[in-house]
Structure 1
């Protein structure tokens, strides 16, 4: 995905949303602004941005990684905090593989039962 990433040019495609679904775009923008409001939230902005960065790393969204890493730094995050957020994301992805491996063992039981008959 990152091969297709162009920070400046990619934003021009927002025009499709503006032209085709302006109501949904406006609702999304308002929602996003509420989530990342500077004031009025229990979790400080720096931590919300670090959470968003970790989620972006987990989902491998280069746009989220770009925006939220910069926003986290602007909100006061250090390189050590960025690194820890990246490790949190890595642990969650690895944990997902571990847990889904257990699911594979469970679901494979159906084939074992068929094979034994």
Structure 2
């Protein structure tokens, strides 16, 4: 896919800076607090692995890139990255299973016998 992880994509941040600088600052402050190296109960490596699992689930290429690299910088191993990927896969599969039940519920009574 053209455009994914294109180094030029960052230049479009200027729209946020120009149009909604207050929200951009609030988001950056929030993100910095969540991923602060110190002062959190969950060590940074694990927060980055959680973020990687979420990124894999939401399929955000930019987040996968950033959080997998940040996890490694925080000490994560290849095995830990692999397990994070499997956890994300299990959650996605589990969600399909659970929402399948919703499909049964929503179509209850619609079937001709």
TM-score, L = length of structure 2? 0.95
User: Whose helix proportion is higher, 1 or 2?
Assistant: 1
- State whether residues 50 and 84 of structure 2, in contact with CA within 8 Å, keep that contact through their aligned partners in structure 1: yes
How large is the RMSD of aligned CA atoms in angstroms? 1.2
Q: How does 1:4-19 map to 2 (within 5 A)?
A: 4-19=3-18
CA distance in 2, matches of 1:73, 1:18: 30
Residues 44-55 of structure 1: pairs in structure 2 closer than 5 A? 44-55=43-54
Given that residues 5 and 61 in structure 2 are in contact (C-alpha distance below 8 angstroms), is that contact kept between their aligned partners in structure 1?
no
Partner of 1:89: 88
May I ask how many residue pairs the two structures share in their alignment?
Answer: 113
Structure 1 runs (4+) deviating above 2 angstroms are none
Any gaps of 5 or more consecutive residues in structure 1?
A: none
CA distance in 2, matches of 1:6, 1:72: 18
After superposition, give the CA deviation of every residue in 1:45-64 in whole Å (9 maximum; x if it has no partner). Answer: 00000000000000000011
